[in-house]
Amino acid sequence: MAKIAEPNPEFTKKVLEGGPGSDTLMLCYQCGTCTASCPSGRLTAFRTRQLIRKAQLGLKDEIMSSEELWLCTTCYTCMERCPREVQITDIIFVLRNMAVKEGFMAEQHKKIGENMLKIGATVPFGEEMKKLRVRMGLPENPPTTVGNKKSMDDFRKVMEECGFDKLMKGGKS
Amino acid sequence: MSQKYAFFLGCVAPLRYPGIELATREVFKSLGVELTELEGAGCCPAPGVIRSFDQTTWLALAARNLALAEAQKTDIMTICNGCYGSLFEANHILQHHPKELKKVNDVLGKIGMKYTGTIKVRHFAEVLYKEIGLEKIKAQVNTPLSYTVGVHYGCHFLKPTKFKQLDDSERPKILDELVEVTGAKSINYRDKMMCCGAGGGVRSRDAATALRMTEEKLKNLKAVNVQMIVDVCPFCHLQYDRSQKDLPGYNIPVIHLSQLYGMAFGMPREKLGLEAHETKFNL
């Protein structure tokens, strides 16, 4: 007999309360404008309308482990065009946060998180780039957390207070 | 009237394309606008990745950056759509949800900081268009350009329009007009408002999918024979610039609006940092 996914109303409630905008989830009437507008969905298996339906039904396990959840580029085109003003991108942020807490996080993404904890930036900073900056007449380090110990300590402290360092070590924080 | 903004650098411009940082500094100096340093600012933090991982951390780090500018009593100006998206939206949340503001200030208190929500977040193209104006920009053009360009608005500059209210998201005109004031011609192309493909953590997690979206854009840009792509976001800039080495048949130079203005205002080419571009700029 075919296995039918169990709805989980508790999960839906958590999504609704998950962050600014996610309380619009139940307004969706499944017209599919989002899917039709999605630049990622036209090339991949990502179906925005379907993701929203699954969130309405509380199909937690299907959403949390799905690859498609991470194919949204957060371009906001769906949100702009949604006739019901569902804050779709905001809902996707909430779902992704829940997935990360459950331990679903790509290694490449963990690396970005680690770089943030190290220099306060998303991308690494190497000697070649420092040389180029100096050649152009710019200071070797930009006036940011990069190369500024006190600011970097503050920046890291904010992340630690929010539990971000633990989250990057595997979720369930 | 003297204008002043706290200059938010972000990550990709200073650490990958320093020409964007330098050109912005020079261009705004020419226009008589003071840019103050935001000493110790960190990543905005990136909307696609950090916000996707944990919104609490995202909001607190954004609030720290906002508080640095608030201490100067100065609005923030960004040169990146991603930084603009994160800081603008975080600011909006903090200004409209007292509970979130309190939560964030409990964290900022640990490093002796506080944010009260008194400043605005501006995108440099918005400042150019709405505060400085086309006429004043035109007066600084001493090296008129005659290129045909395809402009790339990116996603987080205009959207969500409900909150940003800068221009229409389907048929905007801000960037086209900002480009044409230099003498260059903005050419329309299919799916002009489509995403470059890099955002949302897609580039880092699934580079092949990001590349396919970028190829769609490049195909449409090539079809109308533009000489270059002009962007207002170092991350879209990086995606277009670096993707082309993996896409045989494409060789369209990519330039940030600040660099285009640097050229039109007569800045020496070596100050534009074009050597950092992987798709060589030889126009």
Instruction: State which of B123, B144, B177 marks the end of a domain.
Output: B123
In whole angstroms, give the CA distance from residue A75 to residue A83.
17
> Does residue B239 sit in helix, strand or coil?
helix
Assess whether B62 and B183 both reside in one domain.
Answer: no
Tell me how close the Cα of B105 comes to any Cα of chain A, in angstroms: 11
B159 SS3 class = coil
Percent of chain A past pLDDT 90, that is, above it, reads 92
Same domain, B170 and B60: no
Check residue B2 and give its pLDDT: 59
Q: What CATH code is carried by the domain that includes residue B22?
A: 1.20.1050.140
E strand residue ranges, chain B: 3-8, 33-37, 76-78, 121-123, 148-152, 185-186, 228-231, 254-256
Asked if residue B150 and residue B63 are part of one domain, the reply reads: no
Q: Which of B26, B53, B84 to mutate to test the interface with A (most CBs of A within 10 A)?
A: B53
Q: Is residue B280 in some structural domain?
A: no
Neighbours of B61 (CB within 10 A): 28
For Cα atoms B79, B37, B204, give the angle at the middle one, nearest 5 degrees: 40
Q: Which residues of A touch B51 (CB under 8 A)?
A: 93
∠ CA A44-A48-A53 to the nearest 5 degrees?
135
User: pLDDT value at position A106?
Assistant: 95
- CA-to-CA distance for A50 and A18, rounded, in angstroms? 19
Q: Which residues of B120-152 are buried (b: 16+ CB within 10 A; e: fewer)?
A: ebbbbbbbbbebbeeeebeebbeeebebebbbb
B160·A76 Cβ contact <8 A: yes
Q: Is the pLDDT of residue A170 over 80?
A: no
Give the whole-number percent of chain A exceeding pLDDT 70.
98
CA B210 – CA A93 distance, rounded (Å): 19
Chain A, 17 to 36: residues with Cβ < 8 Å from chain B are 19-20
Q: List, for residues B149-175, the tens digit of each pLDDT value.
A: 999 999 999 999 999 999 999 999 999
> Are the C-beta atoms of B117 and B110 separated by less than 8 Å?
no
What local confidence, expressed as pLDDT, does residue A1 receive? 67
Q: Which domain holds residue B49?
A: 3-123
B247 within 8 A of B215, measured Cβ to Cβ: yes
Residue B66 is assigned to a structural domain of this protein: yes
Contact A113, B250 (CB under 8 A): no
Does B207 lie in the same domain as B156? yes
Q: Which of B32, B263, B24, B265 is nearest to B142 (CA)?
A: B265
Query: Any chain A CB within 8 A of the CB of B18?
Result: yes
In which band, very low, low, confident or very high, does the pLDDT at A171 lie, cut at 50, 70 and 90? low
Contact residues on chain B for A80, CB-CB shorter than 8 A: 159-161, 169-170
Q: Does A121 touch chain B (CB under 8 A)?
A: yes
Contacts for A118 with CB less than 8 Å, ≥ 6 apart = none
pLDDT of residue B109: 98
Residue B281 placed within a domain: no
B249's tokens: 């048949």
**Does residue B283 sit within a domain?**
no
Last-in-domain residue among B62, B91, B123: B123
Chain B residue numbers with beta carbons less than 8 Å from the beta carbon of A150 are: 40
* Cα–Cα nearest to A27, from A66, A79, A67: A79
* Inter-chain CB proximity A80 and B201 less than 8 Å: no
Q: Which of A19, A80, A152 is nearest residue B55 as measured by Cβ atoms?
A: A19
Q: What is the DSSP letter of B190?
A: T
Residues B151 and B218 in one domain: yes
Mean per-residue pLDDT of chain A = 95
Report residue A157 as tokens.
């402290």
Q: Which residues pair with B149 in a beta bridge?
A: B186, B228
Region A27-54: what's the mean pLDDT?
98
Are B147 and B259 in a shared domain? yes
The pLDDT value recorded for residue A173 is 40
pLDDT < 50: residue spans in chain B: 1
B29, B144: one domain: no
Q: What angle do CA A129, A132, A137 make, to 5 degrees?
A: 130
From B97, B123, B149, give the residue that closes a domain: B123
At residue B1, the pLDDT reads 42
Q: Is residue B262 part of a domain?
A: yes
Q: Quote the pTM value.
A: 0.97
Signed CA dihedral, B198, B200, B204, B207: sign only: negative
What average pLDDT does this structure show over A126-136? 96
Chain B interface disruption, residue of A22, A33, A66, A73, most B CBs within 10 A = A73
Q: What is the mean pLDDT of residues A82-99?
A: 98
* Number of separate domains in chain B: 2
Touching check for B47 and chain A: CB below 8 Å?
yes
Q: Does A45 reach chain B within 8 Å, measured CB to CB?
A: no
ipTM of predicted complex: 0.96
In this structure, the answer to whether residues B108 and B153 fall within a common structural domain is no
User: Which of chain A's residues have a Cβ under 8 Å away from the Cβ of B55?
Assistant: 19, 93-94, 97
What average pLDDT does the segment A102-123 reach? 95
CB–CB contact B53 A148 (8 Å): no
